[in-house]
Amino acid sequence: MKRRIAVVTGAADGLGQATAIRLAKDGYDIVAADIAPTDETVEAVSGLGVRSLGVRCDVSVEESVTALADAVADFGGADVLVNNAGIYPFILFKDLTTEQWRRIFSINLDGMFYTCKALLPQMQKKGWGRVVNIASNSFINGADPMLAGYVSSKGGIIGLTRALGSEYGEFGITVNAVAPGLLVTKTTAALIGEPGTPGASKWDNMIALQSIKRSGVPEDVVGAISFLTSDDASYITAQTLVVDGGLARV
Protein backbone atom coordinates (compact mmCIF):
# COMPACT_ATOMS: atom_id res chain seq x y z
CA MET A 1 0.00 0.00 0.00
CA LYS A 2 1.27 3.47 -0.86
CA ARG A 3 2.20 5.74 2.02
CA ARG A 4 0.08 8.81 2.54
CA ILE A 5 1.60 12.16 1.68
CA ALA A 6 1.83 15.07 4.13
CA VAL A 7 2.45 18.63 2.99
CA VAL A 8 3.95 20.92 5.63
CA THR A 9 4.34 24.65 5.02
CA GLY A 10 6.94 26.72 6.83
CA ALA A 11 8.98 23.51 7.00
CA ALA A 12 12.51 24.92 6.76
CA ASP A 13 12.97 25.09 10.53
CA GLY A 14 11.19 25.43 13.87
CA LEU A 15 7.78 23.86 14.33
CA GLY A 16 7.40 23.13 10.62
CA GLN A 17 10.62 21.15 10.49
CA ALA A 18 9.78 19.28 13.69
CA THR A 19 6.34 18.46 12.27
CA ALA A 20 7.78 17.12 9.02
CA ILE A 21 10.16 14.89 10.96
CA ARG A 22 7.41 13.63 13.29
CA LEU A 23 5.05 12.83 10.41
CA ALA A 24 7.87 11.05 8.59
CA LYS A 25 8.33 8.92 11.71
CA ASP A 26 4.59 8.24 11.55
CA GLY A 27 5.13 6.85 8.04
CA TYR A 28 4.07 9.74 5.82
CA ASP A 29 5.97 10.76 2.72
CA ILE A 30 6.76 14.45 3.14
CA VAL A 31 6.52 17.56 0.98
CA ALA A 32 8.37 20.33 2.80
CA ALA A 33 7.34 23.77 1.55
CA ASP A 34 8.88 27.08 2.56
CA ILE A 35 10.04 30.37 1.11
CA ALA A 36 13.43 29.48 2.61
CA PRO A 37 15.51 26.46 1.53
CA THR A 38 14.23 23.16 2.97
CA ASP A 39 17.38 21.13 2.32
CA GLU A 40 17.99 20.44 6.01
CA THR A 41 14.43 19.19 6.54
CA VAL A 42 14.46 17.05 3.40
CA GLU A 43 17.75 15.47 4.46
CA ALA A 44 16.40 14.70 7.94
CA VAL A 45 13.20 13.21 6.54
CA SER A 46 14.98 11.16 3.89
CA GLY A 47 17.08 9.58 6.61
CA LEU A 48 13.89 8.14 8.11
CA GLY A 49 13.21 5.95 5.09
CA VAL A 50 10.33 7.85 3.50
CA ARG A 51 10.13 9.83 0.29
CA SER A 52 10.64 13.57 0.59
CA LEU A 53 10.34 16.59 -1.64
CA GLY A 54 11.34 20.18 -0.97
CA VAL A 55 9.41 22.94 -2.72
CA ARG A 56 10.18 26.65 -2.62
CA CYS A 57 6.83 28.33 -1.99
CA ASP A 58 5.62 31.75 -0.90
CA VAL A 59 2.20 31.00 0.57
CA SER A 60 1.16 34.65 0.25
CA VAL A 61 1.31 34.38 -3.56
CA GLU A 62 -1.48 32.33 -5.12
CA GLU A 63 0.57 31.41 -8.19
CA SER A 64 3.33 30.04 -5.98
CA VAL A 65 0.82 27.87 -4.10
CA THR A 66 -0.61 26.64 -7.39
CA ALA A 67 2.89 25.54 -8.40
CA LEU A 68 3.21 23.78 -5.04
CA ALA A 69 -0.08 21.94 -5.63
CA ASP A 70 1.13 20.83 -9.08
CA ALA A 71 4.34 19.45 -7.54
CA VAL A 72 2.33 17.65 -4.85
CA ALA A 73 0.02 16.15 -7.50
CA ASP A 74 3.03 14.82 -9.39
CA PHE A 75 4.35 13.38 -6.09
CA GLY A 76 1.10 11.47 -5.54
CA GLY A 77 -1.41 13.99 -4.20
CA ALA A 78 -1.96 15.43 -0.75
CA ASP A 79 -3.48 13.39 2.05
CA VAL A 80 -2.43 15.71 4.88
CA LEU A 81 -1.84 19.46 4.96
CA VAL A 82 -0.24 21.17 7.93
CA ASN A 83 -0.53 24.93 7.48
CA ASN A 84 2.35 26.19 9.59
CA ALA A 85 3.84 29.10 7.64
CA GLY A 86 3.42 32.40 9.45
CA ILE A 87 5.02 35.54 10.83
CA TYR A 88 4.64 37.34 14.15
CA PRO A 89 6.17 40.81 14.16
CA PHE A 90 5.93 42.65 17.48
CA ILE A 91 4.44 46.07 16.63
CA LEU A 92 2.39 48.39 18.83
CA PHE A 93 -1.04 48.98 17.30
CA LYS A 94 -0.44 52.73 17.10
CA ASP A 95 2.63 52.01 14.95
CA LEU A 96 1.05 49.27 12.82
CA THR A 97 0.74 50.42 9.21
CA THR A 98 -1.82 49.24 6.68
CA GLU A 99 1.01 47.68 4.68
CA GLN A 100 2.24 45.71 7.71
CA TRP A 101 -1.30 44.63 8.59
CA ARG A 102 -1.91 43.33 5.08
CA ARG A 103 1.45 41.52 4.98
CA ILE A 104 0.64 39.69 8.23
CA PHE A 105 -2.73 38.61 6.89
CA SER A 106 -1.35 37.73 3.44
CA ILE A 107 0.98 35.15 4.97
CA ASN A 108 -0.89 33.98 8.07
CA LEU A 109 -4.44 33.79 6.75
CA ASP A 110 -4.51 34.29 2.97
CA GLY A 111 -1.76 31.68 2.71
CA MET A 112 -4.01 29.09 4.37
CA PHE A 113 -6.87 30.06 2.06
CA TYR A 114 -4.61 29.47 -0.96
CA THR A 115 -3.19 26.14 0.24
CA CYS A 116 -6.59 24.79 1.24
CA LYS A 117 -8.13 25.86 -2.08
CA ALA A 118 -5.28 24.19 -3.96
CA LEU A 119 -4.92 20.96 -1.98
CA LEU A 120 -8.36 20.09 -0.62
CA PRO A 121 -9.49 18.90 -4.09
CA GLN A 122 -6.66 16.35 -4.07
CA MET A 123 -7.90 14.99 -0.73
CA GLN A 124 -11.51 15.06 -1.90
CA LYS A 125 -10.54 12.96 -4.90
CA LYS A 126 -9.03 10.38 -2.55
CA GLY A 127 -11.99 10.45 -0.15
CA TRP A 128 -9.72 11.01 2.86
CA GLY A 129 -7.79 13.94 4.23
CA ARG A 130 -6.49 15.79 7.25
CA VAL A 131 -5.87 19.53 7.53
CA VAL A 132 -4.19 20.97 10.61
CA ASN A 133 -3.93 24.74 10.79
CA ILE A 134 -1.46 26.27 13.22
CA ALA A 135 -3.25 28.98 15.19
CA SER A 136 -2.03 30.48 18.48
CA ASN A 137 -3.01 30.55 22.12
CA SER A 138 -2.61 34.34 21.91
CA PHE A 139 -6.06 34.58 20.30
CA ILE A 140 -7.54 32.74 23.28
CA ASN A 141 -5.71 34.32 26.18
CA GLY A 142 -5.48 37.82 24.68
CA ALA A 143 -2.53 38.65 26.93
CA ASP A 144 0.13 39.54 24.38
CA PRO A 145 0.75 43.22 23.63
CA MET A 146 2.23 44.43 20.32
CA LEU A 147 0.58 41.59 18.38
CA ALA A 148 -2.73 43.06 17.16
CA GLY A 149 -2.13 42.00 13.57
CA TYR A 150 -0.88 38.55 14.50
CA VAL A 151 -3.65 37.82 17.01
CA SER A 152 -6.30 39.00 14.55
CA SER A 153 -4.93 36.76 11.80
CA LYS A 154 -4.86 33.78 14.15
CA GLY A 155 -8.48 34.41 15.06
CA GLY A 156 -9.24 34.25 11.36
CA ILE A 157 -7.47 30.89 11.17
CA ILE A 158 -9.73 29.46 13.86
CA GLY A 159 -12.75 30.78 11.98
CA LEU A 160 -11.54 29.26 8.71
CA THR A 161 -10.90 25.96 10.48
CA ARG A 162 -14.45 25.81 11.80
CA ALA A 163 -15.96 26.70 8.43
CA LEU A 164 -13.92 24.17 6.45
CA GLY A 165 -14.52 21.48 9.06
CA SER A 166 -18.24 22.02 8.53
CA GLU A 167 -18.00 21.81 4.75
CA TYR A 168 -15.63 18.90 4.19
CA GLY A 169 -16.64 16.29 6.74
CA GLU A 170 -18.86 14.52 4.23
CA PHE A 171 -15.82 13.92 2.03
CA GLY A 172 -13.82 12.11 4.70
CA ILE A 173 -11.73 15.19 5.41
CA THR A 174 -11.22 16.67 8.86
CA VAL A 175 -10.00 20.21 9.49
CA ASN A 176 -8.66 21.16 12.90
CA ALA A 177 -6.35 23.73 14.45
CA VAL A 178 -3.54 23.47 16.96
CA ALA A 179 -2.88 26.60 19.02
CA PRO A 180 0.61 26.52 20.53
CA GLY A 181 2.03 28.91 23.04
CA LEU A 182 5.34 30.67 22.55
CA LEU A 183 7.98 28.12 21.50
CA VAL A 184 11.74 28.26 21.66
CA THR A 185 12.92 28.37 18.04
CA LYS A 186 15.57 30.22 16.07
CA THR A 187 12.94 32.77 15.03
CA THR A 188 11.65 33.52 18.52
CA ALA A 189 15.19 33.65 19.88
CA ALA A 190 16.05 36.26 17.25
CA LEU A 191 12.97 38.30 18.17
CA ILE A 192 12.97 38.19 21.97
CA GLY A 193 16.14 36.34 22.96
CA GLU A 194 16.69 32.86 24.32
CA PRO A 195 15.23 31.82 27.69
CA GLY A 196 17.51 32.73 30.56
CA THR A 197 19.46 35.40 28.69
CA PRO A 198 19.53 39.10 29.66
CA GLY A 199 16.53 41.01 28.32
CA ALA A 200 14.54 37.88 27.50
CA SER A 201 12.04 38.29 30.33
CA LYS A 202 9.04 37.38 28.16
CA TRP A 203 9.84 33.71 28.66
CA ASP A 204 9.74 34.05 32.44
CA ASN A 205 6.51 36.02 32.21
CA MET A 206 4.91 33.23 30.19
CA ILE A 207 6.14 30.49 32.49
CA ALA A 208 4.69 32.34 35.49
CA LEU A 209 1.23 32.08 33.88
CA GLN A 210 1.56 28.43 32.87
CA SER A 211 0.68 25.31 34.83
CA ILE A 212 3.75 23.54 33.43
CA LYS A 213 6.72 25.63 34.51
CA ARG A 214 9.05 25.51 31.54
CA SER A 215 9.33 27.01 28.07
CA GLY A 216 7.78 25.07 25.21
CA VAL A 217 9.69 23.63 22.26
CA PRO A 218 8.40 22.39 18.89
CA GLU A 219 8.59 18.77 20.03
CA ASP A 220 5.94 19.58 22.66
CA VAL A 221 3.44 20.35 19.88
CA VAL A 222 4.08 17.77 17.19
CA GLY A 223 2.33 14.98 19.12
CA ALA A 224 -0.96 16.90 18.92
CA ILE A 225 -0.46 17.44 15.19
CA SER A 226 0.37 13.76 14.73
CA PHE A 227 -2.82 12.74 16.53
CA LEU A 228 -5.04 15.05 14.48
CA THR A 229 -3.61 13.68 11.23
CA SER A 230 -4.22 10.08 12.28
CA ASP A 231 -7.14 7.70 11.86
CA ASP A 232 -7.65 7.92 15.64
CA ALA A 233 -8.90 11.50 15.11
CA SER A 234 -11.42 10.58 12.41
CA TYR A 235 -14.38 11.79 14.53
CA ILE A 236 -12.83 15.15 15.42
CA THR A 237 -13.20 18.17 13.17
CA ALA A 238 -13.59 21.97 13.34
CA GLN A 239 -11.84 22.00 16.73
CA THR A 240 -8.92 23.94 18.19
CA LEU A 241 -6.50 22.14 20.50
CA VAL A 242 -4.44 24.43 22.72
CA VAL A 243 -0.91 23.22 23.47
CA ASP A 244 0.75 25.81 25.72
CA GLY A 245 1.62 24.29 29.08
CA GLY A 246 -1.70 25.30 30.58
CA LEU A 247 -1.47 29.05 30.03
CA ALA A 248 -4.83 29.35 28.30
CA ARG A 249 -7.48 27.39 30.15
CA VAL A 250 -10.38 26.59 27.83
Evaluate if residue 1 carries a pLDDT over 80.
no
Domain spans of the chain, in order of start = 5-183+217-243
Q: What is the mean pLDDT of residues 193-211?
A: 83
204-220 pLDDT, tens digit each: 888 888 899 998 899 99
Evaluate if residue 249 carries a pLDDT over 90.
no
Please state the three-class secondary structure of the chain as a single string: CCCCEEEEECCCCHHHHHHHHHHHHCCCEEEEEECCCCHHHHHHHHCCCCCEEEEECCCCCHHHHHHHHHHHHHHCCCCEEEECCCCCCCECHHHCCHHHHHHHHHHHCHHHHHHHHHHHHHHHHHCCEEEEEECCCHHHHCCCCCEHHHHHHHHHHHHHHHHHHHHHHHHCEEEEEEEECCECCHHHHHHHCCCCCCCCHHHHHHHHHCCCCCCECHHHCHHHHHHHCCHHHCCCCCCEEEECCCCCCC
Q: What is the mean pLDDT of residues 4-11?
A: 98
CATH of 5-183+217-243, one of 3.40.50.720, 3.40.640.10, 3.40.1280.10, 1.10.20.60: 3.40.50.720
> How much is the pLDDT for 137?
94
pTM of the model: 0.95
Residue positions annotated with a catalytic role: 150
